[in-house]
Amino acid sequence: MSHPLLETLGIANDPRLQGGPGAIDTINPSTNEAIASVALDDASAYEAAVGRSQAAFIKWRMTPGPVRGEVVRQIGLKLREQIEPLGELIALEMGKIRAEGIGEVQEAVDIADFAVGLSRQLYGLTIASERPEHRMMEQWHPLGPVGCITAFNFPVAVWAWNAMLAAACGDPVIWKPSLISPLCAMATHKLCNDAAMAAGAPDGLFELVIGTDQEVGERMIADKRLPLISATGSCRMGKRVGEVVGGRLGRSLLELGGNNAMIVLEDADLEMATRAIVFGAIGTCGQRCTSTRRLLAQDSIVDGLVDRLVKAYKSATIGDPLDPGTLVGPLVNEQSVDAMMSALDEARQQGGEVIVGGERLDRPGNFVTPAIVKVPKGKAFPVAACETFAPILYVFAIDDLEQAIGMQNSVDQGLSSAVFTTNVLAAERFLSPEGSDCGIANVNIGTSGAEIGGAFGGEKETGGGRESGSDAWKAYMRRQTNTVNYGSSLPLAQGVVFG
């Protein structure tokens, strides 16, 4: 018997859930019991999806932008209708708490709203020509079918960031979701595809292919029919995607790992800082790319701040993510628990002190207690340079802002960063060219929790891509420069005389 959420969301009778050879179980991380068995798509299913996407592109690219926007508006309305059950499915399958699951679906709703407005604002420029009786302009055209690879931790929102913008820009999307959270992808795809088709979109605008990296992923990234691959996941995965897509001179939009630091200076509001650190470090059980992983606090306040954090950590309720009283759900699987325990062992070997948490709980599921590790000042601590996707916070005592910025920027990733200070000079220095080297730099808010209005992404091994707001839409279009001669002569540029 299928789970009631699958019935509510309309996927209980999906053919993929009938099992069969090669099917995989999707696991509830709170119990480690199977929710459903999901049959995987093969190479022929991928080829069929690409064919439908190519056919849809022929029609969709000539559909006026505001008409495309109306389709996206209907998708947003459908997501609003199902925000609670879809958010609960995220909690069930991925393990983040119900409030965060619903918040993730709200992100999808918000980006649909953003894309509706965008559909009337795909602006080009008019450019002054150096030649008389000539006009120059640039315009943006749809790019083509987009391949979208998403990670387990945001199984709805990240696809929506890509798909809503791509659809408004005139591009179909072929989605390869994580095999850890396929039910979320199936439910999201059905809701959005049904709404799109009812609103007049062509068949093939949204395609879903649930398959292995070997069978589907490698084909997708090597496929010249997909001019853009948007991939969210680990730095290791991103390097492979970038290598293969670059080898065929395609475009890649990479959203990869983060090793995010929060700097707290002695003039900071410590109550605000504490709240931001706790959510950033233990929210989603530390499984966000923007999770706070390193705390860099000045000597004069570090001990008092740690005392506040320890008290907050001890009061955080760990348990069933669907229980409204829970603040920390499980890690996604047993391998993640093992990785956390291994990182803590390394931290101890390198001289770190685990001052709270760091335990594997003796109960069904993948539950752990979020950990705080105090790092000896001035001592090399290599484990903190690695991104462990778990709720571990490394605490460093620092002398001043200059030292803190140097330590923050010393890691390979460059996604999110934050400083807590009431000193405007320190805040502005943190945001200056000699400050944070991350794609996101915040003042008096945490590292985690981005709004869709701003472009999301980072530098260095985080990949350099940008999704969501601002001008991120340009990644899904091709730019064309046009020059029109409305005179009767043919002057050349740069004053060249020929013949």
Catalytic residues: 255, 289
- Could you say which DSSP state residue 366 is in? S
Partners of 298 in the β-ladder: 398
Measured at the CA of 423, the angle between CA 421 and CA 426, to 5 degrees, comes to 85
Which H or E run contains 414?
strand 413-414
- Could you say which DSSP state residue 63 is in? S
> What is the rounded CA–CA span in Å between residue 153 and residue 287?
7
Nearest to 409 by CA among 358, 448, 449, 462: 462
> What is the rounded CA–CA span in Å between residue 16 and residue 35?
13
Secondary structure class of 52 (helix, strand, coil) = helix
Secondary structure class of 314 (helix, strand, coil) = helix
Determine contact, residues 262/418, Cβ cutoff 8 Å.
yes
What Rg do the C-alpha atoms of the chain give, in angstroms?
A: 24
Determine contact, residues 47/55, Cβ cutoff 8 Å.
no
Determine contact, residues 207/52, Cβ cutoff 8 Å.
yes
Secondary structure class of 38 (helix, strand, coil) = strand
Sole residue written with tokens 């995220």: 90
